[in-house]
């Protein structure tokens, strides 16, 4: 397979990371961050190279896992970033994204999106990235990794369960399900 895992997103692969992130999360975020061209501009502006671990195959980005810290998130950004891309539309978009969740967990290392290129799925990329994020969590002094998975992504949930993640809680989205396209989000944790 020739898979290389490395900390940090190489700057020359930023556009590939944006594409991969949107492939993974565009379906649930398109109502709030779309159209796609604006979502790509926003993500290009806000993704943090230092808040990612990447999987490379022959120099090509085939997967990434982002994380959150008190210093920021892989795909975070702030209101000024939203305003720069969406103008007045930043008002409702910011409110919707804030409702989706901007928390930082002080006791568990927060995973902020796991993305695997569709052509590389089933080759161990996701497992390698989960192992790498667990190692990063240990190195930072955390005892567990935490992630959220939505009910419309059973493939991801199955991977997390195979890799030892257990359910902490499930939250209903209520009316937000119409905006984001999923009814439930399950928080899962794994000791590191």
> What is the predicted pLDDT for the residue at 149?
94
C-alpha 129/C-alpha 154 separation (Å) is: 18
CA atoms within 13 A on the CB side of 117: 16
> What is the predicted pLDDT for the residue at 87?
97
Confidence of residue 181 (pLDDT cuts 50, 70, 90): confident
Going by their DSSP bridges, the two strands 60-69 and 52-57 should be labelled as antiparallel
In 82-183 the beta strands, taken as DSSP E runs, fall at 109-116, 144-150, 166-172
127 touches 93 (CB < 8 A): no
Look up tokens 């667990």; give the residue.
Answer: 134
Nearby residues of 65 by Cβ (< 8 Å), 6 or more positions away: 52, 53, 111, 113, 114, 115, 129, 130, 132, 133
Dihedral through CA 106, CA 65, CA 77, CA 13, nearest 10? 150
CA 186 to chain centre: 14
- Residue (of 21, 9, 12) closest to 116 by Cα position: 21
Structural domain harbouring 164? 3-191
Q: Bridge partners of 170?
A: 186
102 touches 137 (CB < 8 A): no
> What is the predicted pLDDT for the residue at 104?
63
The CATH number assigned to the domain holding 68 equals 3.40.630.30
> What is the predicted pLDDT for the residue at 179?
78
Q: What is the pLDDT of residues 96-121, one digit of tens each?
A: 888 776 566 678 999 999 999 999 99
Structurally, the chain folds into a number of domains equal to: 1
C-alpha 68/C-alpha 76 separation (Å) is: 9
Going by their DSSP bridges, the two strands 144-150 and 52-57 should be labelled as unpaired
The pTM of this model reads 0.92
Q: Bridge partners of 188?
A: 147, 167
Q: What is the pLDDT of residues 115-173, one digit of tens each?
A: 999 999 999 999 999 999 999 999 999 999 999 999 988 999 999 999 999 999 998 87
Q: Judge whether residue 185 has pLDDT over 70.
A: yes
- Residue (of 190, 191, 189, 127) closest to 156 by Cα position: 127
């Amino acid at each position: 397979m020739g898979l290389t895992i490395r900390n940090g997103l190489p700057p020359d692969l930023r556009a590939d990371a944006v594409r991969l992130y949107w492939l993974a999360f565009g379906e649930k975020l398109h109502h709030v961050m779309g159209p796609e061209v604006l979502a790509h501009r926003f993500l290009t502006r806000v993704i943090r190279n230092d808040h990612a671990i990447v999987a490379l195959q022959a120099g090509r980005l085939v997967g990434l896992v982002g994380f959150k810290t008190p210093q920021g998130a892989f795909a975070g950004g702030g209101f000024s970033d939203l305003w720069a891309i969406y103008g007045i539309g930043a008002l409702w978009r910011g409110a919707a994204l804030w409702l989706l969740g901007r928390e930082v967990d002080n006791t568990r290392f927060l995973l902020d999106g796991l993305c695997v290129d569709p052509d590389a799925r089933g080759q161990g990329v996701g497992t390698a990235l989960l192992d790498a994020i667990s190692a990063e969590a240990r190195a930072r002094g955390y005892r567990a990794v935490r992630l959220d998975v939505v009910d419309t992504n059973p493939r991801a949930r199955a991977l997390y369960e195979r890799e030892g993640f257990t359910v902490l809680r499930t939250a209903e989205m209520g009316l937000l399900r119409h905006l984001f396209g999923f009814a439930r989000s399950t928080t899962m944790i794994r000791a590191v």
